[in-house]
Structure 1
Amino acid sequence: MVKNALQAQLLKAGLVDNKKAKKLTKQAHHEQRIGQSDEPAIKANIEKAQQEKLAKDQALNLEKQQQLEEKALKASIIQMIKHHKISNTEGDSVYQFIDEGKIKKVYIAQQVYNALVSGSLVIAKDQDQYAYLPKALAEKIDQKMQGFILMNNAEKNEQATDEEDPYAAYVIPDDLMW
């Protein structure tokens, strides 16, 4: 009846009686069955927790990857601006534009001024300064990421005027000096 050697030795020594040995054996059996019945639930919980952790880790990795891609895109745009900006633009003509809700004033050469007004050049943000870029490059930059191009007069020049506007014949020039 006794299943384990220690119980047999305790019975022979008289420290435990038959009844108590059966009770202990039955109790051990019962605990083993209960442990086995809970085991699948525990395994399911562990598996569920692992799946949740894996999904969370994948979401974090995806977010980090997107941040890295955005950072690389910004770096490439900044490099494009630095490489293609027009140099030697200082001059006496004043050009005003809006940057972050504030009116900015720059002194540029008359040729650059005329190109900005006509729309063939645009103003782009070059970190803490401003860069003057060709229209085609500005369109490529604007397609990749918004926020770098500050002033693009080509869009204003292409707007159609309202035919019913009584003042349509009176065009207000962009280069009007006050």
Structure 2
Amino acid sequence: MASLQDQLLKAGLTTKQKARQANTDKRKKNKQKRSGAQVESSIQEQVKQDIAKQKAEKLAKDAALNAERQLELAAKELHQRILQILTHHQVKGIEGETEYNYTFGSKIKKLFVNEQTQKALVNGRLSICGLDDVTYVVTAETAEKVATLDENVVLLQNDKSATDEVDEDDPYAAYQIPDDLMW
């Protein structure tokens, strides 16, 4: 019985040239299998896997850097927004002879205000905010708006209703602190 290749040649479905080419390809593949060409292909696969791994690591690193930059940009935008609110809504003309003490970070600072401003600060109508070592006197509504963005900016915000409540067990309940007490 003749081989399939011979049968195809007799039927005219293929040529002698194509048959010889198929035989040479078949011999080359067998020779590569015997000589260890598989080792080279496994090394190539390993290199491809390493390259894919490096690409994935680079993409992850780039994504992390991008996220960090976005957070920094958002923090800068928030800082600028707060600064704009404070400078735009700052109360002017509060300078006076009365000394008003407040804490800015871990330091006690003094602000010289007039009597009307001092009463407004004590009653909670005005508040003190601080940003970049600069003090701003703003209305209570502005301070509440700034507190929604960053509560660390608001240095002093008196709430008169909270100070009026007296604890029943307080031994000093009978001794109220005057509003104009200077410390």
Q: Distance in 1 between matches of 2:57 and 2:152?
A: 37
Choose the corresponding residue for 2:41, options 36, 39, 42.
36
Alignment gaps of 5+ in structure 1: 1-25
Choose the corresponding residue for 1:47, options 46, 52, 75.
52
Shift of 1:126: 4.6
Q: Distance in 2 between matches of 1:68 and 1:126?
A: 18
SS at match of 2:178: coil
SS at match of 1:97: strand
Using the size of structure 1 for normalisation, the TM-score is 0.76
User: Could you tell me which residue of structure 2 aligns to residue 158 of structure 1?
Assistant: 162
What is the percentage of aligned positions where both structures have the same residue? 39
Listed one character per residue, the Cα deviations across residues 22-43 of structure 1 (whole Å, up to 9, x for unaligned) are xxxx699736331112222221
Q: Distance in 2 between matches of 1:108 and 1:114?
A: 10
Shift of 1:104: 1.0
Alignment gaps of 5+ in structure 2: 1-30
Alignment of 1:83-98 (within 5 A): 83-98=88-103
Residues 1:124 and 2:111 are matched in the alignment: no
Alignment of 1:12-91 (within 5 A): 30=35, 32-91=37-96
| Cα pair 2:100 2:113 within 8 Å, conserved | yes
Using the size of structure 2 for normalisation, the TM-score is 0.74
Choose the corresponding residue for 1:143, options 145, 148, 151.
148
1:29/1:79 Cα in 2 relative to 1: closer, same or farther (>3 Å)?
farther
Shift of 1:166: 2.6
Number of residue pairs matched? 152
Shift of 1:110: 1.0
Q: Distance in 1 between matches of 2:104 and 2:133?
A: 12
1:174/1:48 Cα in 2 relative to 1: closer, same or farther (>3 Å)?
farther
1:101/1:157 Cα in 2 relative to 1: closer, same or farther (>3 Å)?
farther
| One-letter amino acid of the counterpart of residue 146, structure 1 | E
| Cα pair 2:104 2:130 within 8 Å, conserved | no
Let me know the Cα RMSD of the aligned residues: 2.2
User: Could you tell me which residue of structure 1 aligns to residue 4 of structure 2?
Assistant: none
